[in-house]
Structure 1
């Protein structure tokens, strides 16, 4: 039986989304965004599913709320998120898997601002990578592919030679549009996601094999 895409070929680099992909920040993020939504008269249950995976400024801009400055409001949300990192934890196996990768062959590509990304990585006990793309680095956030294209450029590789690790639709679309292969991390999913891409529930399921020319091949761990 052939291995699914993401397993059958070696890659020059890996590009990781952060929230929901290598760490779980859902409880903290939803606390902050719920407070924000209530202050602006929004229905929290309807709003929350729409904020995951996107930059805060893009989320607020899409709402088109009268009298609301998306840039100002997104900064307020970011400060609140930096202050609340309770319950932020690493996805199982993520720390070990990341530490097994050559430091010049992977990057984090996140919709979070840089200060928040550093804060959450620290809270989750995960390494700050040599290369990152954060909210400030792009003019348009996910699902636009700009962020993943920039991540590949910073690593000096083609997006076609990258494997993107993502967890939500906006990021998956960004990875696809960039021309990369995609691996979907389902650790924080409450419902099964229909996807054409290979999926992982934890990083304990995989290891990486590094070839003499420094290319990386995902190999499944056998139970």
Structure 2
């Protein structure tokens, strides 16, 4: 193992992970469900689909302002449809081993998905339930608001500014920045380069965590 850390001079109180696009890929499943929903509501599917990623379903629907549409009812229906469509959900490369090596009291999943859907997708990807999860229903404001990362840090007994967030979507990156956390951008599901000042990695292969005697985590590359 090399001694050169990914964030030189930084050790973190905890690691906070987004889920979709960060520890697993559910893009095909989500876009199938959302494409049907968008078409049924007369939306341009190609234009609409990029807006769904990284934010809560209820907020995606609410901001459309569709007449006669109850955002929460529609969100619940979409969640049920997504839970029934998990055939091609897979873990991001190296995620399972990376998460398994972390001290359980030092990490959490922080997702814009409802808890039931998140648990369903993690199981479909063959990933174990996290020791702590902050899901869509746990906060009043979803990403890009920082509330979810702040809540996860609070539940772990640390400060968000002392955490490293693993994210893939612009809304999640903005939420982590607003919380004052460091960010590593996971690009496994990106189809084009992302403009970001943060370090990027395609996945978790070639990465490891190292815990110092005080229990703080360092992110290091491995050969």
- Matched with 1:199 is 200
- Matched with 1:217 is 218
Structure 2 CA distance for aligned equivalents of residues 171 and 4 of structure 1: 23
Structure 2 CA distance for aligned equivalents of residues 5 and 95 of structure 1: 20
Q: Deviations over 1:2-49 (max 9, x none)?
A: x78735311010000000000000000000000100110001000000
Unaligned stretches of 5+ in structure 1?
A: none
Equivalent pairs, count: 220
SS, match of residue 75 in structure 2: helix
The aligned runs of 1:88-103 (5 Å cut-off) are 88-103=89-104
Matched, 1:143 2:136: no
State the 1:86 CA deviation: 1.4
| Mapped contact 2:5–2:218 kept (Cα < 8 A) | no
Structure 1 CA distance for aligned equivalents of residues 168 and 145 of structure 2: 15
Residues 7 and 47 (structure 1), Cα distance of their counterparts in 2 relative to 1, 3 Å cut: farther
- Matched with 2:13 is 12
TM-score of the two chains, using structure 1 as the length reference: 0.96
Report runs of 4+ in structure 1 exceeding 4 Å deviation. Answer: none
- Matched with 1:168 is 169
Structure 2 CA distance for aligned equivalents of residues 129 and 7 of structure 1: 27
- Matched with 1:50 is 51
Structure 1 CA distance for aligned equivalents of residues 5 and 174 of structure 2: 19
| Mapped contact 1:166–1:183 kept (Cα < 8 A) | yes
Q: Deviations over 1:147-166 (max 9, x none)?
A: 00001001000011100000
State the 1:73 CA deviation: 0.3
TM-score of the two chains, using structure 2 as the length reference: 0.96
- Root mean square deviation of aligned Cα: 1.1
State the 1:202 CA deviation: 1.2
State the 1:205 CA deviation: 2.3
The aligned runs of 1:61-76 (5 Å cut-off) are 61-76=62-77
| Mapped contact 1:24–1:91 kept (Cα < 8 A) | yes
Residues 88 and 45 (structure 1), Cα distance of their counterparts in 2 relative to 1, 3 Å cut: same
State the 1:130 CA deviation: 1.3
Q: Deviations over 1:68-103 (max 9, x none)?
A: 110100000000001110110000000000000000
| Mapped contact 1:6–1:163 kept (Cα < 8 A) | no
Q: Deviations over 1:58-77 (max 9, x none)?
A: 00011111111101000000
